[in-house]
Amino acid sequence: MKPIVPFLILYLALIPATQALESLQGPAKSCPIKTLKDGKDISLQSLKGKVVYLDFWASWCGPCALSFPYMTEVAKKHKAEGLELVAISVDESKEEAEAFLSAHKTDFTIAHDPNGECPKAYGLETMPTSYLIDRKGNLREVHRGFSNSDREELSKAITTLLKEKP
């Protein structure tokens, strides 16, 4: 039984912990983003005037799979109010990301960053990690991990930012 303990500890250490929203300040980082579908460039600066929910995910991430129905729901609910959801896959393989998406239908922007430039710019540590960016292009909140119990807190933060004037 003893040999299992180190593996269990390692396994538990690798499971991303869900954390409460953390407040941030300062402009959102600029990094190259390309859509997964057609490779078109996306600029976060071009989204000024909108509230941006920027999410980093990977096909192998269990909590990421759990977050996709929530992101789809919130994107539909708040699109007319100015919410733009951009989910960036950090998978090395485009095919892995596409396979994941075949099981998780979305209607928000999906991007792919196989070189990890954008995660580096944001200091990504945990999967998934979501950043809320206000209409002025400033980072306001970060949320690491995801569980269904996070829905209410994230929704409140999104609603608060949508009510703010640009």
Q: Measure the CA–CA gap between 145 and 76, rounded to whole angstroms.
A: 22
Strands 83-89 and 109-112: parallel
pTM, entire model? 0.85
Q: Does any domain span residue 4?
A: no
What is the domain-level CATH number for residue 68? 3.40.30.10
- Phi–psi pair at 35, nearest 5 degrees: -65, 145
Closest CA to 150 of 135, 134, 128, 133: 128
Which residues constitute the domain of residue 72? 19-163
Asked if the structure places residue 13 within a domain, the reply is no
Structure tokens at 138: 């400033």
What's the total number of domains in the chain? 1
Cβ atoms 89, 110 nearer than 8 A: yes
Q: In this structure, which amino acid lies at residue 84?
A: E
pLDDT 10s digits, 24-75: 678 999 888 899 988 899 888 899 999 999 999 999 999 999 999 999 999 9
User: Is the residue at 93 inside a domain?
Assistant: yes
Grade residue 153 by pLDDT with cuts at 50, 70 and 90.
very high
